[in-house]
Structure 1
């Protein structure tokens, strides 16, 4: 595999890529256990597919932004290393599939040429930070949240406090009270506010914590109605430190922030967060939003003649896909991308034709589309004509007809049944039978291949997730139907109710039944969720119940959407949280790596980072010895307590005040003197742990 030392300008990225290449080699040589390697590659955006021997690579685009050069780079990389398809995700990433593991370091190096990263796009890290796609052009926004989302992305990327948490953390910035980034369903959700502080209008955020979807959706709790913007990054860091130390690690299904808050209560969570404050790098971190560069409005005009093939469709597209920006005289246009899949050649065509007439700032939307900005009204017909040429001029962006769906059984290990196939079938029903709903942006339809909600079915007006049923000894694909989810506003949301389960091939009939019933019986101007509340869950259960009977099944019902053979459940091992098998030797090796990183950080004057690396040395080494003793390990605070109880209190490991020593991490400010002292203590503990292991029979054990 080639060296990247002479190709990359960023030494930090260069080091990351060289390290990935090294770990792949060690893994192939059998020197790194398979499950441990999985955790490592996930944190580098490399995710195993349903198909053996190939990987999905997730490209991390903070707040969904791509320059035209970045978009082209991703398209070119997909051609060279993947299948030429770009999959836009609900977290504003781009995914490419069927990539060889050995080629991922080289792929990353090519992306970095245009400052694109895959670092921490997967794994137990801070995932891609999402934001309202209209940020910066939204007429309703108190201020542009883009500089704050960008600062958060950069601050937590490679930050030692969030490299190996119990599970992922998702952060979202909405641009206004409309909450189009769904702050209420995130671990940390943020809505911009302006409030007088000592008589001065001050920027800040409403802060929500502990939201999440998955199999057990939780609505976020309000941490602050208003938190000054300068305090935002320190607060998020406090939360991550608490989650890292106290969060569940043994059971991946309980290893999210929402479950920690549920377990200890909001009051205790707040107390623990405040307890971390002294240890931070800075008590306030001002973000110079005034220095954030304004998006440059293009001044170009179409250089060639063009024509619109379907003027009627153009008018519908303008009505449903085009918005006025807050900047006078400019429009923004949404592209409806079916199932989030756009080809690399189509991407290059659009880039070439639209360069100079749209801003160099394209946003991937959270419903798997694209947003083009700063279009002069006179250029709008040309933009439409370009989209029309490649089939992306479909009206109905973010309407009933714009269905969100995860990849499902196409590529995902966890999927139970097809989501893309049923999504296409449902869109066909709307297009052919309910064409007037192309302008209805009240009802949202979302589909996931399983209960984990990557397609966000839990917050849909009409949601579906993949499931299965049994009939006459055979298994058939099924859909769980959910109703009544969505945005309320200002950080409040609704989780959909599970209403009924039906054979998957009856999904179109479910949609017909619901839309016909709503169209016939809803009051004037009554929104779908209002109608659902008035009629109640029981009404809809009875309405759909005839579709659940299994006496009249045909052979077709036993074949999933898009498949040719009878359905069979084939669920693999999920990788979203990286279920990790830790060997004692591997843990001690990792502790040694943390020592090296800590020494390097302290040498650079990065004392807070050096302290956190030293803390990780204590935890990793203690965990290794406990596993060698057959003691099950869970939370970091549990490891610290169990080591004190099982090895220190029994006299088997001689270290004074172990727990107090380790927990200095949040009792001391990160000064140079404390960083050096704490590092030396961690170093001594690691050496003592190595001696303990050499003097005791230690085997390999399962940690998680």
Structure 2
């Protein structure tokens, strides 16, 4: 094993980074199979890239808050390990690309020097917890949700109950009934409320986008703030146990809620409370360290283009609830900017604002706590950085995922078409520079990282095939989605599929019709009265693929003829004994359980032991070529195949043994007994497996 060392003071973080370095070495040496290694690195923010041999690194930035020192650190890391470009995602993360896998541990170590993590930025974990980018300054908010989002992030980071779930889990916080955190499309969404003078949240559950978008249900109309962490823990435990694990397409929370029903799910969450150590987790919002604005005199500046300045003020200044201050919105084209500008921006806000920026769900930047008399100065400084383009969060501000630029799953270019559509809007529809009622979003595939199916006008990357079997890039046009507020929203209808080069013409027809006939209605209102068929007829002729030109076979942003490439493979690992690997993992889980027990964290110890029990049973079922879709399914199948038939004697059913986890409180005595049971179970199944292998050898 390589002797990688860090300078990290936190031993837990240091151990994480050293473990990643060791697992990379084991993978290179063929000691870990590709699938298991993928799971491990994804949970550490290391994501396979479309280009072979390099990785995308996702930097986890809870609720989009980035301090000046952190932004400088991220810039230094990007320059050293990547190419100096930063990409803001629709989940308030920052991604950097083209990173050598072998350098990812030292990259992570550098980030942690300023409390920036990669942990659980990807993979089947609780992803970055997002929030309204105006949290704490929002004129409509009943209270600042930042302390609660921060407490949630810290409680579930590295928490054993959410390290190896069947699929990812996304959480949002909205600062007001405007629901700018988009709770209705999240696995779990919290909307700030005050009831009878008490702070709390409306809780939404089971929302999602992708190829089958689902509107979230109301889990609770109101729960007090001390109940949000126990509620989420219960939800995660049930999702971990009953969620699908074999078919990725069916493994999200929205499908589990659909399968067992909201009432059935709530009943399971209620039953699980016995296993939860803390029935109430008070969050001290007053102790949350919020950034404070500096006190500085406004330097004298001269505005060269007063008209441009006034236009910028009309679209990019955001009212702030703190008297005497405003926030500034920076429109970041496609979420991409470079480290030289990032450093200068970090220095600017540190000296003249509150020393932080916020990343938005629309891939933009917000500077909070700008004194009103500093607005002119900020304009001149941001102008030097190319950061004063008007139209922040307006119709002209199009959201797009990276698409075929770097993503393995991209089908068609989303950044190229976004660039072209913004050009069309600026040149032909200047009135939309100030329109915030029209939202346009683009994704390069059905997975909806660009959130296209909740937009007023959305585009999804696809392909079309001509009668003579030629393939060209295409766009699915979706219309009518939108955020209605307070946990309510609409998903867009799929209307037509057009060759990509006809995307601008499709947009022109939609906007021209809207301009001529809407009579003051918003786009959502207008689409509601006109309907899918109306727009299908309006755009139908654009679907014709019998008359494509050579240009139609070249995607936006490239000069090369289109080739459909999805999921370019990462290098395959050598064949290993998967059953032995699973047993080894079970041993590691028991070791983790014992460490947690020794640190008196009994609830974590119990969950590690539970994971070992399930993992060991899964190994035995795989040895028999049995399906292992869910944890609950593994438990019942093990009983049917091994216990009921007498092949393995546990003295009870496996279900009775393992389901003690939700029948007993997480005490020291129960934790000790449960770990002992997990260890004994592992010994028993390993012995059975060895005996079977010996019999098989003799038979040969």
> 3-state DSSP class of the match of 1:477?
strand
Aligned mates of 2:113, 2:4 — CA distance in 1: 12
Answering whether residue 113 of structure 2 is matched by residue 117 of structure 1, we say no
Contact 1:584–1:698 under 8 Å retained in 2: no
Alignment of 1:388-467 (within 5 A): 388-467=383-462
Give the equivalent residue in structure 2 for 1:153: 153
Separation (CA, whole Å) in 1 of partners of 2:135 and 2:350: 21
Q: Which residue of 2 aligns with 1:139?
A: 139
SS of alignment partner, residue 356 of structure 1: helix
Contact 1:302–1:382 (CA<8 Å) still a contact in 2?
A: yes
SS at match of 2:693: coil
SS in 2 for 1:165: coil
Alignment of 1:97 with 2:97, yes or no, is yes
Matched, 1:31 2:31: yes
What is the CA-CA distance between 1:621 and the residue it aligns to?
0.3
Q: What residue in structure 1 maps to residue 565 of structure 2?
A: 570
| Pairs within 5 Å for 1:158-197 | 158-196=158-196
Measured in 2, the distance between the counterparts of 1:582 and 1:282 equals 40
**CA displacement at 1:349 relative to structure 2:** 2.0
Q: State the partner residue of 1:73.
A: 73
Q: Which runs of 5+ in 1 are unaligned?
A: 700-704
* 1:659 pairs with 2:655: yes
- Tell me, yes or no, if structure 1 residue 244 matches structure 2 residue 240: yes
* Shift in alpha-carbon separation, 1:20–1:634, aligned structure 2, 3 A: same
Q: Does 1:295 align with 2:291?
A: yes
Q: 5+ unaligned residues in a row in structure 2: which ranges?
A: 696-700
**How far did 1:154 drift?**
0.3
Say whether the 8 Å CA contact 2:349–2:355 is kept in structure 1. no
Please tell me whether residue 12 in structure 1 is matched to residue 8 in structure 2: no
Alpha carbons 1:36, 1:582 under 8 Å: kept? no
The aligned counterpart of 1:62 is 62
Aligned counterpart, 1:277: 273
1:643 and 2:624 aligned:
no
Query: 3-state SS of the aligned residue for 1:696?
Result: helix
Rounded Cα–Cα distance in structure 2 between residues aligned with 1:309 and 1:539: 48
Between the aligned partners of 1:3 and 1:128, the Cα distance in structure 2 is 31
Please state how far the C-alpha of 1:352 moved relative to its aligned partner.
2.6
- Structure 2 vs 1, CA of residues 372 and 698 (structure 1 numbering), >3 Å: closer, same or farther? farther
Distance 1:168 1:306 in 2: 49
Does 586-595 or 550-559 show the bigger shift? Answer: 550-559
What do residues 91-140 of structure 1 show as CA deviations (whole Å, max 9, x unaligned)?
A: 00000000000000000000000000000000000000000000000011
Matched-pair contact (CA < 8 Å) for 1:161–1:612: yes
2:679 aligned residue: 683
1:508-534: per-residue Cα shift (whole Å, max 9, x none)? 1111111111111111x3101111111
Describe the shift of the 1:698–1:631 C-alpha distance in structure 2 as closer, same or farther (beyond 3 A): farther
The residue that corresponds to 2:127 in the other structure is: 127
Cα distance between partner residues in 1 of 2:181 and 2:220: 18
Q: Deviations over 1:539-568 (max 9, x none)?
A: 000011121222332100011111222111
**2: CA distance, partners of 1:195 / 1:357:** 37
Q: Structure 1 residues 302, 100: closer, same or farther in 2, change over 3 A?
A: farther
Alignment match, 1:203 = 199
Q: Is the 8 Å Cα contact of residues 138 and 326 (structure 1) preserved in structure 2?
A: yes
> 1:243-299 CA deviation, whole Å, 9 max, x = no partner?
000000010000000000111111111111111101112000000012223431111
Instruction: Report SS of the residue matched to 1:205.
Output: strand
- Which residue in 2 is equivalent to 1:702? none
- Give the direction of change, closer, same or farther, for the CA distance of 1:470–1:422 in structure 2 (3 Å limit): same
The RMSD of aligned alpha carbons is 1.6
1-side partners of 2:495 and 2:305: how far apart? 41
Residues 698, 82 of structure 1: alpha-carbon distance in 2 compared, 3 angstrom cutoff: farther
- Give, in whole Å, the separation in 2 of the partners of 1:393 and 1:582: 57
Cα distance change, pair 615–82 in 1 and its aligned pair in 2 (3 A): same
- Partner SS state of residue 190, structure 2: strand
Q: Which residue of 2 aligns with 1:331?
A: 326
The change in CA–CA distance for 1:30 and 1:636 in structure 2 (over 3 A counts) is same
CA contact (8 A) 2:50 2:568 kept: no
Distance in 2 between residues matched to 1:65 and 1:697, nearest whole Å: 55
How high is the TM-score relative to the length of structure 1?
Answer: 0.96
Counterpart position of 1:313: 308
Confirm or deny: 8 A CA contact 1:354 1:383 kept in the other structure: no
- Residue 6 to residue 247, structure 1, CA distance change in 2 (3 Å): closer
Contact 2:465 2:545 in 1 (8 A): no
1:19 CA displacement: 0.2
Looking at structure 2, the residues matched to 343 and 693 of structure 1 have their Cα atoms a distance apart, in angstroms, of 55
Q: Deviations over 1:190-247 (max 9, x none)?
A: 1011112xxxx21110000000001100000001000111111000000000000000
Q: Which moved more, 1:3-12 or 1:128-137?
A: 3-12
CA 1:66–1:640 in 2, change beyond 3 Å: closer, same or farther? same
Aligned partners of 2:356 and 2:367 also within 8 Å: yes
Specify the SS of the correspondent of 2:464.
strand
Are positions 1:346 and 2:328 aligned together?
Answer: no
- Partner secondary structure for residue 380 of structure 2: helix
Residue 387 of structure 1 and its aligned partner are, at CA, apart by 1.3
Residue 573 to residue 160, structure 1, CA distance change in 2 (3 Å): farther
- How far apart in 1 are the matches of 2:166 and 2:501? 38
Partner of 1:502: 498
How far the C-alpha of 1:613 sits from its partner, in A, is 0.5
- Cα separation, 1, equivalents of 2:521 and 2:98: 46
Mapping of residues 686-701 of structure 1, within 5 Å: 686-697=682-693
**What's the TM-score, normalizing by structure 2?**
0.97
Q: Select 1:484's aligned residue among 463, 480, 483.
A: 480
Residue number in structure 2 paired with 1:519: 515
Q: What displacement does 1:581 show?
A: 11
- Please tell me whether the aligned partners of residues 559 and 567 of structure 1 are also in contact (alpha carbons under 8 angstroms): yes
Cα offset, 1:358, TM superposition: 1.6
Q: Relative to structure 1, is the Cα distance of residues 513 and 324 closer, same or farther in structure 2, using a 3 angstrom cutoff?
A: same
SS at match of 1:464: strand
- Give the whole-Å Cα distance in 2 for the aligned partners of 1:390 and 1:193: 39
Q: Relative to structure 1, is the Cα distance of residues 194 and 573 closer, same or farther in structure 2, using a 3 angstrom cutoff? A: farther
